[in-house]
Chains A and B, each alone.
Chain A
Amino acid sequence: MTVQTSSVREDFKEIVRLVRPGSRVLDVGCGEGELLELLGREKNIDGRGLEISAEGVAAGLARGLSVVQGDADRDLDYFPERAFDYAVLSQALQAMRDPRHVLHELLRIAERAIVSFPNFGHWRVRLSLMTRGRMPETRALPDPWWSTPNIHLCTLADFLDLTEHLNLRIDACVAVNRDQPARQINPGGLLENWRSENVLFLLSRRAPPTLKAGTGDLFGG
């Protein structure tokens, strides 16, 4: 389900940087558990994973991780409220049947959500559609339209609208482009929707009641 590019590793590094040591993390769409293992090693987190493919789950279990086979579109409902400090959805939002519901659920079961996705507003995508007149196939979106798991692609601007709609607070936003170091960006900035290949958000609920004062530090203190 995830997009296979080298920038995904950069994506992981950024997540490792954001997550506070010793926190409780749910990785939704955790694949074979690479990120959970990395977070366990680097940040001593208490991690759990949810993954739809049996092969991915089996690999995660063999690594000694607590991974549950399930469907993020359906199975997040069973987790209790605020059970985690972070819920991570790495490069999988665009593959959800109901991304809005999933985002809502992430911030029900965790204090914060870390969400990354390929930006459909990136200039390569726009250029590909404009010049070829076909569904873009880029290094961030390598699959043809008929086999891609990415059924709900969006642009950075689209996603900002959704965060407004859900009343979410953006605690951090990072652009992750291949062959470049990750870059903290202002997601509303004029050029970012053009030049960000993948974006990663740290989100929390804007509304009270449980947001504690002083938790606004963006990069894991």
Chain B
Amino acid sequence: MATAHASNSSNLVLPAPLPLDSGQALDRVEIAYETYGELAADKSNVVLIFHALTMDQYVASPHPITGKPGWWSQSVGPGKVIDTSRFFVLCANVIGGCMGSPRPASTAADGCPYGMRFPVITIRDMVRAQVALLDALGIERVHAVIGGSMGGMLALSFAANYPGRVDRVLGIATTARHSAQNIAFHEVGRQAIMADPNWREGDYYSDGKSPDAGLAVARMAAHITYLSEAGLTEKFGRRLQDRTAKSFGFDADFQIESYLRHQGLSFTTRFDANSYLYITRAMDYFELAQKHGGVLAEAFRRARNVRFCVLSFTSDWLYPTSESRHVVQALNAAGCRAGFVEVKSDKGHDAFLLDEPVMSAAVAGFLAAAATARGLGA
């Protein structure tokens, strides 16, 4: 029997092919997921957490490759903000991801890895896969869906497309659409990968030579967008790395260079370059209002009985507060019940992973609030 402290790693093959927005379908979809805490007899205590671009289902358990603690282990656990002695926390690897769910590295019907034959997926496809997982687990309705960054996009998409299956939706440092700037940074990353001679049109799984250099550069560029200028200055400034003078060469003279190189390199040990291409594409395609004539409020019209909470961070320039405000204004216009606060932090986008007391208090209050959400006038 699972205890509140332990996690359970599971895999489940969906009983039916998964239809995709592209018109294609994925056969034999196996979803890898982690659970924490115990499912109540009436299944009323499910909290579904959606992970971000480069994360995975190991939200509060050690990562099997790096051995590092789960990416949100300071917030998820017994007695923590997302209390696993009360909630049954479920986190699944998104389709396209690297930790067990269908991905470009998976084996296709012909016995070879998909590579670039893997269908292009969307945020909604990722959500659809997890709704199919809930179906397979016999979970009709969840207490909350929670996500930061890309996870927040999944949470908003879940609310818009499956409003009857969730009581409350929490989106942190997220957006309802990818901006030109967001797409631009992702394109830099993708081009870095595709410019790596080892990429070979994505067909690199057979000989162990993967486009690590390209993937590392993609990670370096992206990592900058996760931090704030003030945070970088405080952490690194212009300080030199293990030396007292500039080398008049192109070594990593500065600490920030050394840090980014390390981030890039270590990323390649746990992430697949093709997955990075597919997931960033899915994020770029994300625009929740698109199917609703460009009016975001229309996307939330059916979600009037859902409670929403949106959090942003002052120094997040990747998904800035203006994007959260845009979401909140649409929620208000749709008559949804919404909470929103901009949390003061100099930690940039990655603040959502850290222990920000204001965020923690808001999340705890939001999850605990009486479930008496009622929509505004019809």
Tell me the A residues contacting B by CB distance below 8 Å. Answer: 24, 46, 48, 54, 57-70, 75, 78-80, 82-84
Given A24-B377, A58-B361, A78-B333, A64:B368 Cβ within 8 A: yes
Chain A nearest CB from B327 CB (Å) reads 11
Taking CB atoms and an 8 Å cut-off, the chain B residues in 67-90 that contact chain A are: none
Cβ of B338 under 8 Å from chain A: yes
| Complex A-B, nearest 4 residue pairs according to Cβ-Cβ distance, in ascending order | A64-B369, A61-B362, A62-B365, A78-B329
* Total residues of chain B contacting the partner, CB 8 A: 31
Please give, as numbers and ranges, the residues of chain B lying within 8 Å of A80 by CB-CB distance.
Answer: 332-335, 376
Cβ of B235 under 8 Å from chain A: no
Q: Which residue of A lies closest to B376 (CB)?
A: A83
Please give, as numbers and ranges, the residues of chain A lying within 8 Å of B377 by CB-CB distance.
Answer: 24, 82-83
Asked if residues A61 and B366 are in contact (CB atoms below 8 Å), the reply is yes
Chain A nearest CB from B169 CB (Å) reads 12
Chain A nearest CB from B355 CB (Å) reads 15
Q: What separation, in Å, do the CA atoms of A78 and B376 have in the docked complex?
A: 14
Cβ of B226 under 8 Å from chain A: no
Please give, as numbers and ranges, the residues of chain B lying within 8 Å of A57 by CB-CB distance.
Answer: 339-341
Cβ of B2 under 8 Å from chain A: no
Given A61-B365, A65-B369, A84:B376 Cβ within 8 A: yes
Please give, as numbers and ranges, the residues of chain A lying within 8 Å of B358 by CB-CB distance.
Answer: 54, 58
Q: A61-B309, A64-B368 are in contact. List 6 more A-B contacts (CB 8 A).
A: A54-B341, A61-B341, A68-B328, A68-B339, A78-B329, A83-B335
B376 CB contact (under 8 Å) in A24, A54, A68, A69: A24
B338 CB contact (under 8 Å) in A64, A66, A82: A66
Taking CB atoms and an 8 Å cut-off, the chain B residues in 328-378 that contact chain A are: 328-330, 332-335, 337-344, 358, 361-362, 364-366, 368-370, 372, 374, 376-377
Cβ of B307 under 8 Å from chain A: yes
CB-defined A-B contacts under 8 Å, sample of 25: A46-B372, A46-B374, A48-B337, A54-B342, A54-B358, A58-B343, A58-B358, A59-B361, A61-B341, A61-B365, A62-B361, A62-B365, A64-B368, A65-B339, A66-B339, A69-B340, A69-B341, A70-B340, A78-B330, A79-B332, A80-B332, A80-B333, A80-B334, A80-B376, A83-B376
Chain B CB within 10 A, most for which of A58, A65, A83, A84: A58
Q: What separation, in Å, do the CA atoms of A65 and B373 have in the docked complex?
A: 11
Q: What separation, in Å, do the CA atoms of A60 and B361 have in the docked complex?
A: 10
Q: Which residue of B lies closest to A57 (CB)?
A: B341
Q: What separation, in Å, do the CA atoms of A65 and B361 have in the docked complex?
A: 12
Q: Which residue of B lies closest to A60 (CB)?
A: B339
Q: Which residue of B lies closest to A24 (CB)?
A: B376
Chain A nearest CB from B75 CB (Å) reads 15
Please give, as numbers and ranges, the residues of chain B lying within 8 Å of A65 by CB-CB distance.
Answer: 339, 365, 369
Asked if residues A68 and B369 are in contact (CB atoms below 8 Å), the reply is no
Q: Which residue of B lies closest to A85 (CB)?
A: B377
Q: What separation, in Å, do the CA atoms of A135 and B221 have in the docked complex?
A: 56
Chain A nearest CB from B364 CB (Å) reads 7
Q: What separation, in Å, do the CA atoms of A75 and B332 have in the docked complex?
A: 10
Please give, as numbers and ranges, the residues of chain B lying within 8 Å of A84 by CB-CB distance.
Answer: 376
Asked if residues B338 and A68 are in contact (CB atoms below 8 Å), the reply is yes
Chain B nearest CB from A40 CB (Å) reads 8
Chain A nearest CB from B154 CB (Å) reads 22
